[in-house]
Chains A and B, each alone.
Chain A
Amino acid sequence: MTIKDSQIMQTALTKLFPFALLFSIYLFSYVGVFPGGGFQAGVIIGTLVVIVEMALERKLYSDSSFEAAEFTGVLILILLLLGGIFISGYPFGGFYILQGTSRPFANVMIWLLSLAIFLEVAGSMVLIFRGFLTWEHEAKLYMLLPGQAGTEKSKKHDASRKKRELSRITWITACILTAAAAFVLIRYPGLESIFHTEVDAVREITGEFGIRNMVSSVYLGPRVMDTFIEVMVVVLTVFGVRTVRRTT
C-alpha cells in the first residue's frame, strides 16, 4: 500500500489544501503588523507542495520554476544590499539609517525582505526534498515502502563482537567529554544580560515606523546580515544535496 492509496491522506489533503494556502498568504501579507513573516509562510507553502507531491506521486511543477523562485529571492536580497549601500552607505540601508525616512518606505523595505525570504525558503524546501529522489525509482524505495535492512548475519555477529571490545573505552570517553561539556556550559555567563540591552532601541524605532511585529523588524535592523548569510547557506545546501546525490 502506498501513500497514494491512503484515504486519510487524500481527504485531508483536499480539505486542508485551500486553508493552508490561505493561511500562508495571510502570514505573508501582514508581515509588519501581525504575527507571521516571510519565513513561516515560505515553510508552509514549501511543505504543502511536498505533501501534495507525496500524495500524487508526481512533480507538481518543474524543478526550474522552484529554482527561479529561489534565485529571485537571492536577487532581491542582493539588489537591496547594493541599493542600501548606494543610497545610505550601509548594506540594506539599515534599520537605524531609516530614521530620517518615511513610514511607508520602512514598511516597503520590510515587505521586500520578507518576500525574498519567502521565495527562498519555499523554493529550497521543495528542492531539498526533490534532491533526495531520482523520482521514478527512489520515490517508491525511500518513502513508500517499509525499510528492508539487508545486512548479512555473519557480518553482524563480527561487528557486535568488535563493538563489545570497543564499548568500554567509548563509554568512559563519552562520560568524560559529557562532564567537560556540562562543566563549561555551567560556567558560561547567563545570556540574559546580552539581549535585553538592545531591545529598547529596536522598540523605539519600531514604534516610530508603525511596524508592530518586532520579530520581523529585527530582520531589517541588527540582524540583517544574518538573514543574508542564512539565505546563502540555504542556496549552498541545495547545491550540496544535489551534488552528493548525483555523484556516482
Chain B
Amino acid sequence: MSILVIAVGVFGLITADNLIKKIMCLAVIENTIILGFIRAGFREGGAAPILISPEIITVDPIPHAIMLTAIVIGVCFNALAVACIVRLHQKTGTVQISEIHEL
C-alpha cells in the first residue's frame, strides 16, 4: 500500500509544473516512508514502547526513534526548499517552471 502512495508522489514530482506542488509531492513521499518504517517496527499484540512491567511485549522502538530524526530532517529540507522558492519568486515573479524556462 505504501508503495502505491510513493508511486503517486513520484508521479506528481515529475509532472507538477508548480514548484510548491513539487515540494508537496516530496512531503508525501517522505511521510509515506515514515509510516512504512513505523509499520515495520510493529509487532503483533505489541504495546507502546514504555516498559511498565518487565514481561510486557512492546513494539520496536528503534524505527520510532529513527523516524523522529527523519521528521526533523524533513522540516529542515522543506524550510530550505521553500526559502529557495521565495528567493526565486523575488527574482522572476513566478513559481511555474515552464514560465521560468522562458525568462
Chain A interface residues (CB < 8 Å from chain B): 34-35, 37, 39, 121, 128, 131-132, 142, 150-151, 155-156, 158-159, 162-163, 166, 170-171, 173-175, 177-179, 181-182, 185-186, 190-192, 194-196, 198-199, 202-203, 206-207, 212-215, 217-219, 222-223, 226-227, 230, 233-234, 237, 240-241, 244-245, 247
Contact = CB atoms under 8 A, between A and B. Distances in A.
Nearest to B14: A174
Contact of B14 (A158, A170, A230): A170
Contacts of B94: 151
A211 to B, nearest CB: 8
B63 A214 contact: no
Interface of B: 3-4, 6-7, 10-11, 14-15, 17, 36-37, 40-41, 43, 48-52, 54, 58, 60-66, 68-69, 72-73, 75-77, 79-80, 82-84, 86-87, 93-94, 96, 98-99, 101-102
B98 A162 contact: yes
Given A39-B68, A199-B58, A245-B83, 12 more contacts: A128-B75, A131-B79, A156-B99, A162-B102, A178-B11, A182-B6, A214-B61, A217-B61, A218-B64, A234-B76, A237-B76, A244-B86
24 contacts: A128-B75, A131-B79, A155-B99, A159-B102, A170-B14, A181-B7, A181-B10, A182-B3, A182-B6, A190-B40, A195-B40, A196-B60, A199-B61, A207-B51, A207-B54, A217-B61, A218-B64, A230-B73, A233-B73, A234-B72, A237-B76, A237-B77, A244-B80, A244-B83
Contact of B36 (A191, A218, A222): A191
Contacts of B49: 213-215
Nearest to A230: B69
A132 B63 contact: no
Contacts of B14: 170, 173-174, 177-178
A185 B33 CA distance: 11
A215 B61 contact: yes
Contacts of A203: 51, 58
B79 A128 contact: yes
A178 B61 contact: no
Given A182-B3, A212-B52, A237-B79, A174 B15 contact: yes
B5 to A, nearest CB: 10
Given A158-B102, A175-B11, A196-B43, A206 B69 contact: no
A219 B62 CA distance: 9
Nearest to A39: B68
A166 B17 CA distance: 11
Top 7 closest pairs, chain A to chain B, by CB: A191-B40, A237-B76, A214-B61, A218-B65, A174-B14, A214-B49, A244-B83
B40 A192 contact: yes
B41 to A, nearest CB: 6
B64 A121 contact: no
A215 B69 CA distance: 12
B79 to A, nearest CB: 5
A196 B58 CA distance: 11
A202 B62 contact: yes
Nearest to A241: B83
Contact of B86 (A150, A226, A245): A245
